[in-house]
Amino acid sequence: MESYQFDNLSIILNKEGSREFSKVSYPIRYGRFAEVKTPDYIFQFNLNGEIKHIQGRGQSWPHPAEWLKRTVANDWIYFSVGSSYSSVYGFIGEYYLPCLSYPSNSIIGGNPFDDNAVRSAFTAWQKLLLKIKALTSSFIPQSLRDFLILVTESHPKALRLRSHELHNLIGGRLTVLPPDTRHVDYDVIPVIVADGCLYNCQFCRVKSGQGFAPRTKKNIIGQIKKLKSFYARDLSNYNAIFLGQHDALCAGTELLEFATKNAYEIFEFERSNLRGAKLFLFGSADSLINSQDALFESLNCLPFSAYINIGLESADPATLAVLKKPITVEMVGEAFARMLDINRRYEKIEVTANFLFADDLPRGHLSSFLELTRNRLNRFYSKGTIYLSPLINGGAKDVETKREMLRKFNEVKILSRLPTFIYLIQRL
């Protein structure tokens, strides 16, 4: 760690954060980063000199323990404590609520991006870039100058271009991350193993509209190599991959093994600043039911803990018909049973499931949900998280409807015998 002081700027290079992701009720940072403190803000930069976090220090900042985070796809997210730590944790399984700067499916939290203090943070960052630029032409140590030049080169326009570059090199924008990526603070390296999905359900707002199509091995290895150069110095701050897009499980054992083994080796996860590599992917009812045991045996032997998130949506025939999801209740039941079986048999794999949640779905939706998640289980199981995804059609629901949905969610959560949380859809 190197520390420097220039008037009211204090700069630390190579600051060490936690080496393990953990759920704590105070601001925590991971891996290695650089920090610039002014009287009003703490700015943190990744090892490529790109802004990653901004936290206000003054009276006007909404809460001293809240912060802004920029994703590698250049979205800003405001991490809020909500109205109380316990209610945020009960709803999403985390102590902080990620408030997104783009439309999503959230039924909790306000819009901090409307707050003047939060908006001022972006202006303060741009002013800081000018100050840092001036500093680079003064008499300072070479290692500091090198890093500050990286910071000044990572101005807002350059970061926008970097986001396009990321999507170009993997061949697509990621409209949705699995909810389980919350376990690594949503910091995953995306590698697309297959495009499209099997069903193209009418209700879905994240679908590509394409049929399922696996990528070739050549394409996958090309992505991994280009991603290594893209993440560059900051690669050492990652230990998790997301295999995209909507049904990577359907890509089969050979392609999944190929992608994960190469990613682990080429990204050098063994030398990561973070411990415990993790792998995330989506699957469908069909791909879960049709996958052979050999696939799960292979995933269980990888140097990753794997999270497979399955979109089941509903166990009620009337609801599936309304959603125009072309699967049957019998398939949902079979996929649910397979999920429980895999979670019991494979220590390093957790299969989780999504169901929809709305105020205007047919009456049988919630009762059939509880038939699976309560009546079929003899006790509470800590593995096999269920995510309820709020279905927000035509814009945000009014405050009263949201409150009623949250009340209903709490009722269902208490009855469910699996960990049950709300799914906040995040993109990358």
Which residues in this chain contact ligand SF4 in the complex, by CB under 6 A? 197-201, 204, 206-207, 246, 284, 311
Report, in Å, the least distance between residue 414 CB and ligand SF4.
27
Q: Are 289 and 280 in contact (CB under 8 A)?
A: no
SS3 277: coil
Q: Are 32 and 45 in contact (CB under 8 A)?
A: no
Q: Which two tokens stand for residue 50?
A: 């790109």
Q: Between 188 and 312, whose beta carbon lies closer to ligand SF4?
A: 312
Helical ranges in 8-155 per DSSP H: 85-92, 116-136, 142-153
Report, in Å, the least distance between residue 249 CB and ligand SF4.
12
Report, in Å, the least distance between residue 244 CB and ligand SF4.
11
Angstrom distances, CA of residue 250 to CA of 2, 193, 213, 242? 48, 10, 9, 15
Q: Between 38 and 175, whose beta carbon lies closer to ligand SF4?
A: 175
- Between CA 249 and CA 309 the distance in angstroms is 9
Strands 240-244 and 213-214: unpaired
For 156, other C-beta atoms within 10 Å of its C-beta total: 13
SS3 221: helix
Q: Between 74 and 200, whose beta carbon lies closer to ligand SF4?
A: 200
For 234-245, b/e burial (b = at least 16 CB within 10 A) is: bbbbbbbbbbbb
Q: Between 69 and 246, whose beta carbon lies closer to ligand SF4?
A: 246
Q: Between 203 and 258, whose beta carbon lies closer to ligand SF4?
A: 203
Report, in Å, the least distance between residue 21 CB and ligand SF4.
26
Which residues, 6 or more positions from 254, have their beta carbon under 8 angstroms from its beta carbon? none
**What is the chain's length?**
428
Report, in Å, the least distance between residue 200 CB and ligand SF4.
5
**CA-wise closest residue to 338 among 352, 348, 327, 328:** 352
Strand partners, 407: none
Q: Distance between terminal CA atoms of the chain?
A: 31
In the sheet that holds 9-16, the strands lie side by side as: 2-6, 9-16, 32-37, 41-45, 51-56, 67-70, 76-80, 97-100
- H/E stretch holding 274 reads none
Report, in Å, the least distance between residue 25 CB and ligand SF4.
33
Report, in Å, the least distance between residue 205 CB and ligand SF4.
8
Phi, psi of 130 (to 5 degrees): -65, -40
Q: Between 278 and 325, whose beta carbon lies closer to ligand SF4?
A: 325
Report, in Å, the least distance between residue 207 CB and ligand SF4.
4
Q: Between 12 and 201, whose beta carbon lies closer to ligand SF4?
A: 201
Report, in Å, the least distance between residue 216 CB and ligand SF4.
22
DSSP-derived secondary structure for 357-397: E-TTS-THHHHHHHIIIIIT-SS--SSS-EEEEE---SSPP
Q: Between 305 and 314, whose beta carbon lies closer to ligand SF4?
A: 314
Q: Between 107 and 391, whose beta carbon lies closer to ligand SF4?
A: 391
Q: Between 179 and 311, whose beta carbon lies closer to ligand SF4?
A: 311
Report, in Å, the least distance between residue 418 CB and ligand SF4.
20
Which residues, 6 or more positions from 265, have their beta carbon under 8 angstroms from its beta carbon? none
- Between CA 215 and CA 219 the distance in angstroms is 6
Q: Between 328 and 375, whose beta carbon lies closer to ligand SF4?
A: 328
Report, in Å, the least distance between residue 203 CB and ligand SF4.
7
